[in-house]
Amino acid sequence: MRHDGTEEHVKMSQKSAKTWCLRLFPAFLFCISFLTYYCSYGLLQSYGGAKSLNSSKSLCGGWLTQKKWESLNFNISRQTQLFLKLKHFFWKEHVSRLALPYGIKGSEEQMLTKVLAAIDRFKESNEVENLECPTCVVIGNSFSIKNTSLGSIINKYDIVFRLNDAPVRGYEEDVGNKTSMRLFYPESASSNPTLHNEPGTLMVLVPFKLQDLRWLKEILYNEKRVRRGFWKPPPQIWLGDPSKIRVLDPHFLRQTAERLLHIPLHSSRQKPVHPTTGILAVFVALNYCDKVHIAGFGYPPSNDQRHPIHYYGKDTMRSMKNSYHDLSHEAAALKRLEDAGAILYLHQHR
């Protein structure tokens, strides 16, 4: 009887063990699957092929882009929200101690809210603002892009940044004809943006002073134009599409000056120095884009005063003599970005 009881006990123990194994088997499979996924994900990331945290449609280099950004030692986070919105001022997210061009304060905020209220009335969703992991190219206005035949290559990028009133028609072979965003200020605005931009192009105002916001407000509300306060008369009639207008957050100009160019924001110099629209656009692209390539940057040697500076028009280096920009300083900053692998030139440059 004892022998039979022992045998029965062994059988019951084996049955119990088998039952527990069957119960634990799904958990075991889950652990194996999790470890396999985790190792695969880590391997993908090590090669820069993992999804970025915000990407749900394709594998892209978001992880590598973040690492590149961190290696630049700006000591600030990437900011992918580029434009000011009316709702931000209701919640006081943009309270600043700095006035334009590096912040918004005082009467500037009142003027800006009127501008943003008008933009909200017309505003339409734009796919450029919702792209994941976009590839971007910033097209400068330098003479260096002339005769490069880069047009077809430029047109393949997700986002093409252009600057001020730089023309496209007649120069397509070198500069392409695609424009996603055009950064400008009133004095550099073309009276008819449709001539050199596609219908979907975002026209991005870079506000340098209160008068810039007033100019846009007068355009949007069709008010009487005030001509005072501009170093060059801006267009009194501007045929831009109100639904495509955006206002760049001054955060980007401030960080371009402070973190990239190391320009003191509070300077006692009689003649202040500010970033060019070109270097600003590069910094904006570094914040927003997965890959940043550039073309049309670089100035001829400053001792060659007769050399053309743009791929269009007749301006020479002589016209830059009294500018508010430090061109050699910006060239050095672009060289640092290039050496760090943050940007890539599409053509040979000095």
Q: What are phi and psi of 22, to 5 degrees?
A: -65, -35
Q: CA-to-CA distance for 160 and 10, rounded, in angstroms?
A: 76
Angle between helix 210-221 and helix 107-122 axes, rounded to 10 deg: 30
**pLDDT score recorded for residue 325:** 76
Long-range contacts of 192-201 (CB under 8 A, 24+ apart): 192/239, 193/238, 193/239, 193/240, 193/241, 194/239, 194/241, 195/167, 195/169, 196/165, 196/166, 196/167, 196/168, 196/169, 197/162, 197/168, 199/241, 200/126, 200/127, 200/128, 200/244, 201/244
**What are 295-331's pLDDT values in tens digits?**
999 877 666 778 899 999 998 877 766 677 788 899 9
Instruction: Read off the tokens for 314.
Output: 């007749």
Inter-CA distances, 203 with 119, 164, 189, 322, 334, Å: 12, 10, 10, 27, 25
The position carrying tokens 């919105």 is: 85
Terminal alpha carbon distance of the chain: 99
Q: At 269, which amino acid appears? A: R
Do residues 197 and 239 touch, judged by C-beta distance below 8 A? no
What pLDDT does residue 21 have? 53
Whole-prediction pTM: 0.81
3-state secondary structure 190-254: CCCHHHCCCCCCEEEECCCCHHHHHHHHHHHHCCCCCCCCCCCCCCCCCCCCHHHEEEECHHHHH
- Predicted confidence at residue 299, as pLDDT, reads 77
What architecture (CATH level 2) is domain 62-345? Alpha-Beta Complex (3.90)
What pLDDT sits at residue 100? 95
pLDDT for residue 178: 98
User: In this predicted structure, what is the pLDDT of residue 322?
Assistant: 65
Q: CA–CA distance from 265 to each of 35, 99, 184, 278 (Å)? A: 50, 10, 21, 19
10-residue averages of pLDDT along the chain (350 residues):
51 55 54 47 36 44 84 94 89 75 93 95 88 95 96 98 97 98 97 94 97 96 92 93 96 97 78 92 97 92 80 84 79 96 91
Amino acid at 95: V
